[in-house]
Amino acid sequence: MAPTAQATRYLTVLYDADCPVCVHIRHWLLGQRQLVRLVMVPAASFQARQRFPRLDHTATLREITVIGDRGQVWTGTDAFIVCLWALAEHRPKANWLATPAGRPFARAAMYTAAAVRHAVRTGSEAEPGEPACDEQCAAPR
């Protein structure tokens, strides 16, 4: 008899608590109807370091990181998609974004979010063709 797949019960989202864009997205995620519970934890915080000692906590400040209840880790575009997958109204879109046809759109959304984050943090926009990030933000590649 094949083992049955366990349903994901919750996802922990590490977000930059010092970034206004990240805090806004955190509030937006928490305001959505969730099919999988999202637990929000400030990236690189004492709580994050205690719960996930093996993670590169400096990297979690640069790139969204999501940890599943069985230890799965998603970063960047994959983390964005799994957050949408957890939401009732956005799961169908997440399923499409995870396909080869949808993935470029997910990457573009992440790049746009990184550009907005950079503009909010620095008060300026990146030059065309340059990464829209500073040391606090990693544009998805």
Per-residue pLDDT of the chain (141 residues; tens, 9 = 90+): 444 457 899 999 999 999 998 999 999 999 999 999 999 999 999 999 999 999 999 999 988 999 999 999 999 999 999 999 999 999 999 999 999 999 999 999 988 988 888 888 766 444 444 433 444 444 333
pLDDT at 113: 86
pLDDT value for 122:
67
Q: In the prediction, which pLDDT does 4 show?
A: 45
Residue 129's pLDDT is what?
Answer: 40
At 5 the pLDDT is: 57
- Long-range CB contact pairs, 6-10, < 8 A, 24+: 6/70, 8/36, 8/68, 8/69, 8/70, 9/36, 9/37, 9/69, 10/36, 10/37, 10/38, 10/39, 10/69
- The full set of domains in the chain, from first to last, is 10-91 (3.40.30)
Q: How far apart are CA 103 and CA 106, in angstroms?
A: 5
